Chains A and B, each alone.
Chain A
Amino acid sequence: MILMSRTQWAVTALALAILAVLPLLLPDFWLSGILGRSLIYGIVALSITFLASYGGFISLAQTMLAGIAGYTVAILAPTAIPAGQNAVSYWLAMPLAVLAATLAGAVVGLIAIRTRDIYLLMITLALAVGFSLFAQSNIDWFNGYEGIRNVVGPELFGQPFRAHAVFYYVALTVSALLYLMVLYVVRTPFGLVLQGIRDNPRRVSALGFDVAVHRIAAFAMAGFIAGCGGVLITFYNIGITPGSIGMTATVNVLVMSVIGGLGHPIGAFIGAVIFTLIDTFAATIYDRDRFNTLIGLVFLGIVVASPDGVLGLGKRLTGWRKQRDAGDGGTPH
């Protein structure tokens, strides 16, 4: 099976190689505060992009699924404050958290099974807002507004997880694996049926495929991806609060996916890098009291210039060059 063309493989390998040697060149803050942060939020954005580009579903529940994984790992974490009743090792807590997010993803898929477009958006939004309000008002499990703190993550190779290089490489490895997983899955029969559902669910159904089961499976897989991101985000934030999964967080991840471009999984990470850079440095570049205006204008600019995000902009630029080349005497076909 061919995941990518040879050129795409080359570009991907080159990009990964560059990302792998960056720790030698970049200051610590750029490693964890910019790139690492972009990667882990990019993973959650990837789950949106996967559903949107191959299933045609725009889900606003992905941040909630990341939050379910985050809260699961926080509740089970051995270092958590307040300490849970059932603390286990991080190595057990992490897979359980991802499993919880996967199951929750399937449940979201099940709840939203008959909806498309704006109605799907509304249902997933309702679930996301409902869960964050529940987490805010539940003291026994979620510790309410203050959330669960001091979830520092396991030690890796004798180093704390928060060490800049450790965190960066873990984020990079997980992101790369999930990215390749998405590229692989969309070329399996399952992925092809999914794209068929996106284009014409009725025809796929007539061919004898169970549309509902495929949809639920797609949501479960998106839940798995978001769950991986959620665990890493919780370690990065040294804990989780209802604010981590509230409306603002949900919209931020959606913005990442949209400005990056929903056409291809890599758009999620491109969008996440752009978002993180602007979010971090807007206040340095522009007036501190009004830097949100700058953030808004940049995002508006990107979406107006290219409705399909930075990715679409790139495609259009190359397409434009191609056309010009064709006009110069290239062979039309």
Chain B
Amino acid sequence: MAEQDHQGEKTMLRKKLAYRTATALAAGLFALAGIGAAATQDVIKLGSITTLEGPFATGGQDAYRAMEMALEEIDYTINGKKIEWIRESSNAQADVALARARKLIEQDNVDIIVGPLSGAEGIALRDYSRTLEGKTIVNGSSGAADTTLRDASPNFFRFSTEGTQWMAGLGNHVYKDLNVGHVALVAADYAFPYAQVMGFMLEYCQAGGAVTKLWSPLNTTDFGSIIANIPQDAGAIVLIQGGTDALAFLTQYAEAGGDLPIIGGSITADQTLLSARGPHQRLMEGMLAAGPIADLNEDPMWVAWVSAYRERFPDGFDSPSIHAFNYYTNTKAVLLALDEVGGDLSDGQKAFQEALAKVEFKNPMGANVRLDENRQAISDIFLTRIVNDGGTLRTAAFGKTEGVTQTMGMDREAFLALGAPSRDNPDCPPAN
């Protein structure tokens, strides 16, 4: 009997607890759900995604600095409408960027998203944007070619250039101006370097050059076998590696007594390499590369932008990073298009998206930016050289290729027929 009583009591208690928990949960759910429901007409909601966690956290921070600058320039107002900026953070993983984008669109009801920062995230958001109606996603700093080249989405816009475009002009410069007919290519074995290699080789092979490819996995520490395999008759090394991989290669190459000129990719000459001390510095001075920005550029727009950046963010970088530059350029395009339509986002953002597709302006490097029919930027790419600027190594622009298209000046059909860049595509090995 006592046993039964106790059982009954336990059941009661369980029921009570279950009931209370359910009530509390339901109450909590509705309270939270209510937050997202209040949206007003005279506020433009701008969401953004960058990486404040993971390997690119410092770049993500810098990206938000630049976005803040762009928004402060117009005092967060378009035609009397306030811009509400909702920031989110990812960790450079596609799934996380997608979850954040869903939250921004579905929970926070943002009208426009600026972001993300890295390649796979960009492709994930491109796919998500295709499922949306009346919403716009504008790239942050992601640079995978396929985001806009193949299967483009009508709701995804990119005002920054991508990995293949960034190499424009370098192949011709190496072959024609430096008179190097055979280079050793030392590159990391994944998608972004493939795109960069394609950008370089399209020009270089066309001009008549030959390339010996030496691939290494990401995060390689020992380049001994690669250094041993550099051909005797190579006139230069094209190094498409980033961060610590590039540092490891250059250090080991310098220690092995290597003295071939180094041609870098767009992410080779980053701060890891420029600020590190060691034997690699001997090879760094004079290293060539190509990309959308350079630390030193005589264009007055760039000079003014860098000094505004330094003044606004004394604890920021010495010179704004490529992510800051890309986020600024993309945000600027959004603000210009919003201004054009007076902040009117009605009718499924039709007028706004049309204005966005037609926006034409100058980015902080002083380069003209406009979009092609896939909503991908056509802009100028700079040849850069590393110079010793009073004891610090910096990149300086010394030439530019104007109006570089995503198809590298080729016909779209012909370019697509070349196929996606890979280890073996394109290819122009030396004859012997």
Residues of A within 8 A of B (CB): 7, 11, 14-15, 18, 25-30, 32-33, 37, 81-82, 136-137, 139, 144-147, 149-150, 152, 162, 237-239, 241, 243-244, 246, 248-249, 279-281, 283, 288-289, 291-292, 314, 317-318, 321-322, 325, 330-331, 333
Q: Which of A14, A248, A318 contacts B91 (CB 8 A)?
A: A248
Determine how close the nearest CB of chain B comes to the CB of A177; give it in whole angstroms. 22
Is the Cβ of B120 less than 8 Å from the Cβ of A241?
Answer: yes
> How many Å lie between the Cα of A11 and that of B22 in the bound state?
11
Apart from the given pairs A29-B107, A145-B119, A331-B2, 4 other A-B contacts in the complex at a CB distance below 8 Å: A147-B120, A243-B92, A280-B107, A322-B10
The 9 closest A-B pairs by CB, nearest first: A29-B106, A243-B93, A331-B2, A29-B107, A241-B94, A238-B127, A237-B95, A145-B190, A33-B102
> How many Å lie between the Cα of A25 and that of B30 in the bound state?
9
B18 within 8 A of partner (CB): yes
Interface-central residue, A28, A149, A249, A325, by most chain B CB under 10 Å: A149
Q: Which of B52, B151, B423 contacts A289 (CB 8 A)?
A: B52
Some 27 contacts from A to B, beta carbons below 8 A apart, are: A18-B22, A32-B102, A33-B102, A33-B103, A81-B127, A81-B150, A145-B191, A146-B144, A146-B146, A152-B131, A238-B128, A238-B131, A239-B124, A241-B94, A241-B95, A241-B124, A244-B93, A249-B93, A280-B99, A283-B88, A288-B52, A289-B52, A289-B61, A318-B17, A331-B2, A333-B2, A333-B3
> How many Å lie between the Cα of A26 and that of B13 in the bound state?
29
B123 within 8 A of partner (CB): yes
Q: Which of B14, B94, B103 contacts A280 (CB 8 A)?
A: B103
A15 contact set on B, CB distance < 8 A:
22
A32 contact set on B, CB distance < 8 A:
102, 106
> How many Å lie between the Cα of A18 and that of B18 in the bound state?
12
Is the Cβ of B53 less than 8 Å from the Cβ of A292?
Answer: yes
Interface-central residue, A145, A150, A288, A292, by most chain B CB under 10 Å: A145
Determine how close the nearest CB of chain A comes to the CB of B226; give it in whole angstroms. 17
A249 contact set on B, CB distance < 8 A:
93, 95
Q: Which of B9, B103, B144, B192 contacts A325 (CB 8 A)?
A: B9
Is the Cβ of B189 less than 8 Å from the Cβ of A137?
Answer: yes
> How many Å lie between the Cα of A18 and that of B23 in the bound state?
11
Q: Is the interface of A mostly helix, strand, loop or mixed?
A: helix
Determine how close the nearest CB of chain B comes to the CB of A125; give it in whole angstroms. 18
> How many Å lie between the Cα of A50 and that of B107 in the bound state?
33
Cβ < 8 Å to A, chain B residues 72-126: 87-89, 91-96, 98-99, 102-103, 106-107, 119-120, 123-124
Interface-central residue, A26, A30, A238, A318, by most chain B CB under 10 Å: A238
Q: Which of A37, A81, A137, A318 contacts B14 (CB 8 A)?
A: A318
Residues of B within 8 A of A (CB): 2-3, 5-6, 9-11, 13-15, 17-18, 22, 29-30, 32-33, 36-37, 52-53, 61, 87-89, 91-96, 98-99, 102-103, 106-107, 119-120, 123-124, 127-128, 131, 144, 146, 150-151, 189-192, 217, 420, 422-423
Number of A-B contacts (CB under 8 A): 134
B29 contact set on A, CB distance < 8 A:
26, 30
B91 contact set on A, CB distance < 8 A:
248
Given the interface pairs A144-B190, A241-B95, A244-B95, the reply to whether A149 lies near B89 with Cβ below 8 Å is no
Is the Cβ of B190 less than 8 Å from the Cβ of A248?
Answer: no
Is the Cβ of B107 less than 8 Å from the Cβ of A33?
Answer: yes
Given the interface pairs A29-B107, A150-B127, the reply to whether A11 lies near B14 with Cβ below 8 Å is yes
Is the Cβ of B18 less than 8 Å from the Cβ of A137?
Answer: no
A281 contact set on B, CB distance < 8 A:
32
* Chain B minimum-CB-distance residue to A82: B420
Is the Cβ of B14 less than 8 Å from the Cβ of A7?
Answer: yes
Given the interface pairs A241-B94, A288-B52, A289-B61, the reply to whether A146 lies near B2 with Cβ below 8 Å is no
Is the Cβ of B119 less than 8 Å from the Cβ of A237?
Answer: no
Is the Cβ of B191 less than 8 Å from the Cβ of A33?
Answer: no
B151 contact set on A, CB distance < 8 A:
81, 150
Determine how close the nearest CB of chain B comes to the CB of A46; give it in whole angstroms. 19
> How many Å lie between the Cα of A57 and that of B144 in the bound state?
41
Is the Cβ of A333 less than 8 Å from the Cβ of B6?
Answer: yes
Determine how close the nearest CB of chain B comes to the CB of A241; give it in whole angstroms. 5
A239 contact set on B, CB distance < 8 A:
94, 124, 127
Determine how close the nearest CB of chain B comes to the CB of A136; give it in whole angstroms. 7
> How many Å lie between the Cα of A81 and that of B15 in the bound state?
50
Determine how close the nearest CB of chain A comes to the CB of B118; give it in whole angstroms. 9
Interface-central residue, B93, B189, B422, by most chain A CB under 10 Å: B93
Determine how close the nearest CB of chain A comes to the CB of B112; give it in whole angstroms. 17
A314 contact set on B, CB distance < 8 A:
17
A330 contact set on B, CB distance < 8 A:
6, 9
Determine how close the nearest CB of chain B comes to the CB of A283; give it in whole angstroms. 6
* Chain B minimum-CB-distance residue to A136: B190
* Chain A minimum-CB-distance residue to B131: A162
B98 contact set on A, CB distance < 8 A:
237-238
Given the interface pairs A162-B131, A288-B52, the reply to whether A145 lies near B120 with Cβ below 8 Å is yes
> How many Å lie between the Cα of A318 and that of B87 in the bound state?
41
A321 contact set on B, CB distance < 8 A:
13
> How many Å lie between the Cα of A292 and that of B93 in the bound state?
15
A248 contact set on B, CB distance < 8 A:
91, 93
* Chain A minimum-CB-distance residue to B18: A11
Given the interface pairs A239-B124, A331-B6, the reply to whether A7 lies near B94 with Cβ below 8 Å is no
Determine how close the nearest CB of chain A comes to the CB of B22; give it in whole angstroms. 7
